[in-house]
Amino acid sequence: MKINWDKKYTTIAVYALIVISLSIVFNNVISKLDVFTGKLNQILVVFQPFIIGFVIAYLLNFILKFYEEKVFKIKMIKKIRNFPSRGLGILFSYVTALIIVYLFMQFVLPQLIESISGLINDIPRYVRELTSLIETELYERNIDQEYMAIINEKFVEITNWVIQLLTNILPLIGNMVMSVASSIWNIILGVIISIYLLTDKEKFFALGKKIVTSLFNSKHTTIILDLANRTNLTFGKFIGGKIVDSVIIGILTLIILAIFKMPYMVLISVIIGITNVIPFFGPFIGAIPSAIIILFVSPIQALWFLIIVLVIQQVDGNIIGPKILGDSIGISAFWILFAILVAGKLFGLIGMIIGVPMFAVIYSIIKDIIEARLRYKGLPVETSHYTN
């Protein structure tokens, strides 16, 4: 007996089956999230050298492109026949990276550790002085004993929290160093893998394009390749721009703090520079603990520090950031906040850093789909048309 399959309803049934299957998988993942993350961590451990290698290659590719597209394009060098631009570019890229790491280890890291150690040793004296100052100020203003007790209680809570936070910094750095040391073999393998990736990056791109072309029709192949190119451009511009922007902000902060003779200049500048990588929340994440650190030394200097950070962030947000990043994100401040909160909740600190470019890519895909459907219906795609 021959069955007459209706193509329309068969397609609907297939899509329904896919949606139901994905819903079941999603429900199982959410209900057994600990098991899922445990399995995912096991997989990540196996692929750790390749992940490290990809990250190193992706970051060093910015330096490699600079050498190949800027330095080696000089007329004098272009005249040299069979000039090994790729080999020398990779060599110079790794030498540049090693010089940066060496300079950090030689000049910044010792001062960073010294600042943290000195801060932890001076905490008891700072707490006594600050407590005495607050008690004197409150006493002179004849505040009721009831309010005095509440203020003292809250002050003790804040002080204990700060002390706990600062005393955990050194063990945290120690754990990070131990983690890096325990992963030294994976890092070595990652460096080797990154060299292979950078050497044959065009071949890997071509291989990926070949696989996509073999699996999908020409229309879907074009869409997938466009998506991959868009993702690479978005992440590349954002991450590369943010790193450069954060280095500039860190150095600028150090110079200004040195002019104002602020305590723990190196420590605070590193905190400001690193946290600046996180969009939107970065300035607050870096400024609050830094202001508390300075507060122990001098409340007036802490106030000046907050004003300095506010000015620096305004300069960064209105001048430096736009010049470096341009329109690499392409989404409004609301969606930036949304992306940081959601990605930060799901993936922690890494999510807060990569959440914005990741959401920007997803946002652009959804935007293209919506606009394509509107054009198909003969409707305008401008959002302003739908405000009324």
347 phi/psi in degrees, rounded to 5: -120, 5
Give how far Cα 175 sits from Cα of 29, 46, 105, 172, 285, Å: 31, 21, 17, 5, 21
At 196 the pLDDT is 92
Position 188: which residue type?
I
Instruction: Report the length, in residues, of the chain.
Output: 388
Closest CA to 313 of 354, 256, 258, 359: 256
At 106 the pLDDT is 80
At 162 the pLDDT is 66
At 192 the pLDDT is 92
CA distance 96 to 64: 10
At 76 the pLDDT is 63
Per-residue pLDDT of the chain (388 residues; tens, 9 = 90+): 454 545 666 777 777 888 888 888 777 767 766 676 677 777 777 888 888 899 899 889 988 888 888 877 776 666 676 667 788 888 999 999 999 888 878 877 777 777 767 766 776 777 677 677 766 766 666 666 666 677 667 767 776 776 666 666 556 656 666 666 667 888 888 899 999 999 988 898 899 899 989 988 888 888 888 888 888 888 888 888 888 888 888 899 889 988 988 888 888 888 888 888 887 777 778 888 788 778 777 778 888 998 998 898 888 877 777 777 665 566 777 787 888 888 877 777 777 878 888 888 888 888 888 888 888 888 887 777 777 6
At 321 the pLDDT is 74
C-beta atoms surrounding 86 within 10 Å: 17
Residue 279 burial (C-beta neighbours within 10 Å; 0-12, 13-18, 19+) = buried
pTM beyond cutoff 0.95:
no
| 5 token code pair | 């399959």
CA distance 343 to 352: 6
* Rounded (10°) angle between helices 85-103 and 48-66: 110
Q: Is the sign of the CA dihedral 252, 253, 259, 265 positive or negative? A: negative
* 297 neighbors 261 (Cβ within 8 angstroms): no
At 1 the pLDDT is 45
| 378 token code pair | 């003969």
CA distance 344 to 61: 26
CA distance 325 to 331: 13
- Going by the DSSP 8-state scheme, the letter that residue 328 receives in this structure is S
C-beta atoms surrounding 198 within 10 Å: 22
Give how far Cα 179 sits from Cα of 103, 170, 173, 175, 186, Å: 22, 14, 10, 6, 11
CA distance 321 to 282: 13
Which DSSP helix (H) or strand (E) runs through 164? helix 145-167
